[in-house]
Amino acid sequence: MEGFQVDLSGQTAIVTGASQGLGRAVAVALGTAGARVACVARNAEKLKETVDAILEGGGQAEAFSCDVTDRDSVENVVEHVADEWGGVDILVNNAGITRDTLLPRMSDDDWDLVIGTNLKGMFLFSRAASRHMMSKKRTGRIINMASVSGLIGNPGQTNYSASKAGMIGFTRSLSKELAGRKVTVNAVAPGFIESDMTKALGDSLLDEVKKRIPAKRLGVPDDVSATVLFLASPASSYMTGQCLVVDGGMTG
């Protein structure tokens, strides 16, 4: 993110799914920009690594172990952050899982777990956080981590693609509800980003993937976190209800 500077000093951010991957990159980027970051995930040990990375960089952060599909757990986290940290300014709904398989073989659990984590978790955190954003009568930012799978689909991912398409629809609807209250709601749709998940595809398949990307490379987590920083910043104050695609031109 060299050359891209955002000052979020004095603001409080909640990032779900912050224990690894894009969630960790986003949490660290927000912390580096000066926000105090509530890092949320199930895995307390991995969350500590994220918090430590933010603290080592001179930022402020705290870990919250939470099941994003449990209403009481979600509301407890949001209430704690709002009470102890003086409100909620930024929410990044990043928590998500995959359970890939072709539809004829997809179990009820495969469907329910993906829809529950990816969609219900976003709903619960957005509902709880938006109440505080509106009550404080100051600007708020809700940023939902969608995917190009929610735009173009992907074989073996009917559950995941449906959840990500749902996130985009949710984003557009909620943006219309909150625009008059100085709260923006936007989504980010990453394409193929370097991660443990993409490494597992193997070199030969990744070479084929890169051929489909006009940029001829996979994205890196900083490509996505920089987009989130922009949406969290005052520079995006007149942008709401949008889905920013970060895919190297793959979806054109």
Distance CA 26, CA 143 (A): 11
Q: Please, which pLDDT band fits residue 2 given cuts at 50, 70 and 90? A: low
Alpha helices, H only, the chain: 21-32, 44-56, 71-85, 108-115, 121-135, 149-152, 158-178, 196-199, 203-211, 221-232
Distance CA 42, CA 15 (A): 12
* pLDDT value for 221: 94
* pLDDT value for 246: 97
Residue 144 located in a structural domain: yes
Q: Please, which pLDDT band fits residue 115 given cuts at 50, 70 and 90? A: very high
Whether residue 64 is predicted with pLDDT greater than 60 in this model: the reply is yes
Strands across the sheet containing 243-246: 60-65, 36-41, 12-16, 90-93, 140-145, 183-190, 243-246
Residue 205 located in a structural domain: no
* pLDDT value for 4: 64
Q: Which domain holds residue 64?
A: 12-192+220-244
Distance CA 221, CA 204 (A): 22
* pLDDT value for 160: 96
pLDDT digit string, tens, across residues 209-225: 888 899 999 999 999 99
CATH number, residue 122: 3.40.50.720
**Element (DSSP H or E) covering residue 14:** strand 12-16
Tally of structural domains, the chain: 1
Residue 181 located in a structural domain: yes
| Catalytic site includes residue 238 | no
Distance CA 35, CA 13 (A): 6
* pLDDT value for 172: 98
* pLDDT value for 204: 82
* pLDDT value for 15: 98
What angle in degrees, to the nearest 10, is found between the helix axes of 121-135 and 71-85?
30
Residue 102 located in a structural domain: yes
Measured torsion, CA atoms of residues 76, 86, 174, 23, in degrees rounded to the nearest 10: -70
* pLDDT value for 195: 81
- The catalytic residue among 64, 85, 123, 160 is 160
Residue 201 located in a structural domain: no
Residue 200 located in a structural domain: no
pLDDT digit string, tens, across residues 92-113: 999 999 999 999 999 999 999 9
Whether residue 1 is predicted with pLDDT greater than 80 in this model: the reply is no
- Structure token digits, residue 200: 């597992």
> Which single residue is written with the structure tokens 């219309």?
176
Residue 35 located in a structural domain: yes
pLDDT digit string, tens, across residues 14-51: 999 999 999 999 999 999 999 999 999 999 999 999 99
Whether residue 238 is predicted with pLDDT greater than 70 in this model: the reply is yes
Which letter, b or e, does each residue of 96-126 get, where b requires 16 or more Cβ atoms within 10 Å of its Cβ?
bebbeeeeeebeeebbebbbbbbbbbbbbbb
pLDDT digit string, tens, across residues 134-185: 987 778 999 999 999 999 998 999 999 999 999 999 999 999 999 999 999 9
What percentage of the chain reaches a pLDDT higher than 70?
98
How much is the average pLDDT of 191-218? 84
Distance CA 68, CA 122 (A): 8
